[in-house]
Amino acid sequence: MVQSTKLQGTDLEFYPLHDLARAGIEDPSGLPVTVKVLLEGLVRLAEAGVTPESNIGVLAHWPAVPPAGAELPFLPARVLMQDFTGVPAVVDLAAMRSAMQRAGKDAGKVDPLVPVDLVIDHSVQVDSFGFRDSYTRNIQKEIERNRERYSLLRWAQQAFHNFSLVPPGMGICHQVNLEYLARVVQVRDIKGRRVAIPDTLMGTDSHTTMVNGLGVLGWGTGGIEAEAAILGQPAYLATPIVVGVRFIGALRAGTTATDLVLTLTEMLRKHGVVDKFVEFCGDGLSTLSVPDRATLSNMCPEYGATSALFPVDQQTLRYLEVTGRDREQIELVERYTKEQGLFRVDGAAAPKFTELLELDLSQVESSMAGPKRPQDRVALPDVWSSFSTVFTPGPRPEPEAISRLTEEGGPIDGRATVAVHAKHEAKVEDGCVVIAAITSCTNTSNPSVMIAAGLLAKKAVELGLTVDPYVKTSLAPGSRVVTDYLKTANLLEPLEQLGFFLVGYGCTTCIGNSGPLASPEIEAAVTKENLSVVAVLSGNRNFEARIHPLVKASYLASPPLVVAFALAGTVHRDLTKDPVGQTPDGKPVMLSDLWPS
């Protein structure tokens, strides 16, 4: 049995995994980090009497087939919730307290044993857009709609211990978790001792895996599993299958973490990682920042894995520093992970995985995914063919024909268009982009792509480019940090000049809370003519009608590409060779003219 011992340089204790070899069980040094974290938790549960000590040896011999009767319990260090899935859990806890009270017992005994963070992020909708006060209008509407639910959550924060509530308008739970809540190493009181343990979690949202990019193991679960964990009951896991993904090289200039995650999603979907744990390795990791990694881990549900873990390394420590974590906490993370064999360095041998794949980062190209599935990656030149293959629209009318029929508003080659305002070229047809949303924690957590979007908008404004009025534009970051640095960099104003006003700090368009299209006339035209119109968003899912019931096609893209397609107004352009738009004097403007260098 592994005994706790002092963590050198601290007043904390920990359970050193290397003592397993000294105890004659097995040397765990070659195990994947995922398995090591599960093993450390198993040691503590065995000491607590939750599971037999023999199960420690079984997991230490991974990937050997476990004997009959072996079990792998897992109890997270904390639980993360959002308001849609968290409210039912709070109701259940309240119901249990009522039952205790009716039975004449102490209702206060129903209390979270594992810390819970609930972030309100799923309720805000893009009702108002295109105005400086859109954020204020939308959050007022959100509170009006959800007053009863929010009253319940406010009661829960006061009634329960170990229950923290982040109010509406602050951010998306996964980005708040990444930037603020996650500690990488937690400290717990165990039998009067202060013990350092890995930060792990379960979340009542599938994209809980985003925090895997920070080196924190966690995944999404159902509400019942999360409630059980809150009350101290472990989940029981099957023997983990761990797929290693080795990164080599570095991303080329002009490509983004969004391009990489769409490439990864396509690759892992084809390989098959459902019910498997993914873990990244290789020297290429040193070229990826934590926000880059978080983008990859965020889309873990889209490629089907249980989790997608990046080991702790120097990039992790750097991120903790720039996000304002205490120096003492950063030192604890470094000391603990190195002592436990959880810290990655370049040149280290890859752990022994069930399977090992490899991806050359230098081969990643600018991409989008769509029009209906996140794994359907398409290179920029192929976007229109991917759309037309699915929706088979007729030929695109010539600009002259569109202009000629501005007043007439009649069908062209059997395909209807609708005039918007007084702009001759502003006609809605198949392939038109009617929603362009910089949204979702998937990408707004990454300053590199958000700054790129701002720089692209700045250049477009300088050249006199505008967005057609049928395009509903919105900016909904995952935390207030984003608008702070955009303002500091003087990049929020050019985004606003193109219509990308702040509409809220929440999931918004990514989960279908996109609100109405730009005008009732556009919605009527799309319905009447059965148009196949498009949403381009920096989100993680794009199933048909998920983004908006009238929008058949949705493409996932990086924030700068969202701005580019808002300017283009259609996916019927190859932005690698067709102009994004024209200057007021008719000069064509290419994407390469706008793209940050």
- Distance between first and last Cα of the chain: 56
Report pLDDT for 444.
96
Report the candidate in 57, 62, 74, 64 with the shortest Cα–Cα distance to residue 19. Answer: 57
Which helix or strand (DSSP H or E) is residue 244 part of? strand 242-248
pLDDT digits (tens, 9 = 90+) for 213-222: 999 999 999 9
Exposed (0-12), middle (13-18) or buried (19+): which is 454, by Cβ within 10 Å?
buried
Cβ atoms of 589 and 565 within 8 Å: the answer is no
- For 400, residues 6+ apart whose C-beta sits below 8 A from its C-beta are none
Report pLDDT for 393.
56
How many C-beta neighbours within 10 Å does residue 244 have? 21
| Assigned domain for 471 exists | yes
| Assigned domain for 160 exists | no
How many C-beta neighbours within 10 Å does residue 131 have? 14
Beta bridge partners of residue 116, listed in sequence order? 79, 163
Report pLDDT for 465.
98
| Assigned domain for 248 exists | no
Tokens of 105: 């017992």
Report the candidate in 360, 353, 250, 371 with the shortest Cα–Cα distance to residue 309. Answer: 353
CA-CA distance, 15 to 5, in Å (whole number)? 6
| SS3 label, residue 113 | coil
- DSSP at 126: -
Rg (CA), the chain: 26
Q: Percent of the chain having pLDDT more than 90?
A: 91
pLDDT digits (tens, 9 = 90+) for 71-125: 999 999 999 999 999 999 999 999 999 999 999 999 999 999 999 999 999 999 9
The DSSP secondary structure of 335-400, one letter per residue, reads HHHHHTT-B--TTPPPP--SEEEEEEGGG---EEE-SS-TT-EEEGGGHHHHHHHHH---PPPPHH
Mean pLDDT of 226-244: 97
With cut-offs at 50, 70 and 90, classify the pLDDT of residue 24: confident
CA-CA distance, 204 to 520, in Å (whole number)? 36
| Assigned domain for 561 exists | yes
Q: Is the pLDDT of residue 487 over 70?
A: yes
| SS3 label, residue 577 | coil
Task: Single out the residue in 45, 74, 103 at which a domain terminates.
Answer: 74
Domains in the chain, number: 2
CA-CA distance, 71 to 289, in Å (whole number)? 36
Mean pLDDT of the chain: 93
Task: Single out the residue in 17, 40, 74 at which a domain terminates.
Answer: 74
With cut-offs at 50, 70 and 90, classify the pLDDT of residue 427: confident
Task: Single out the residue in 21, 41, 74 at which a domain terminates.
Answer: 74
Report the candidate in 327, 329, 330, 340 with the shortest Cα–Cα distance to residue 5. Answer: 340
Rounded to 10°, the helix 327-339/314-322 angle is: 160
pLDDT digits (tens, 9 = 90+) for 501-533: 999 999 999 999 999 999 999 999 999 999 999
pLDDT digits (tens, 9 = 90+) for 30-67: 999 999 999 999 999 999 999 999 999 999 999 999 99
Q: Identify the domain containing residue 484 by its residue range.
A: 367-594
CA-CA distance, 299 to 580, in Å (whole number)? 29
| Assigned domain for 564 exists | yes
| Assigned domain for 354 exists | no
Cβ atoms of 298 and 265 within 8 Å: the answer is no
The whole-angstrom distance between residue 363's C-alpha and the CA centroid of its chain comes to 23
Please report how many Cα atoms fall inside a 13 Å half-sphere around the Cα of residue 158, on the Cβ side. Answer: 6
Mean pLDDT of 403-419: 35
pLDDT digits (tens, 9 = 90+) for 152-197: 999 999 999 999 999 999 999 999 999 999 999 999 999 999 999 9
CA angle 350/356/362 to nearest 5° reads 85
pLDDT digits (tens, 9 = 90+) for 428-480: 999 999 999 999 999 999 999 999 999 999 999 999 999 999 999 999 999 99
CA-CA distance, 171 to 479, in Å (whole number)? 4
Tell me the pTM.
Answer: 0.93
CATH number at residue 425: 3.30.499.10
Report pLDDT for 2.
83
| Assigned domain for 124 exists | no
Q: Is the pLDDT of residue 413 over 60?
A: no
CA-CA distance, 211 to 201, in Å (whole number)? 9
| Assigned domain for 524 exists | yes
With cut-offs at 50, 70 and 90, classify the pLDDT of residue 426: low
Q: Which residue in this structure is represented by tokens 């300088």?
A: 462
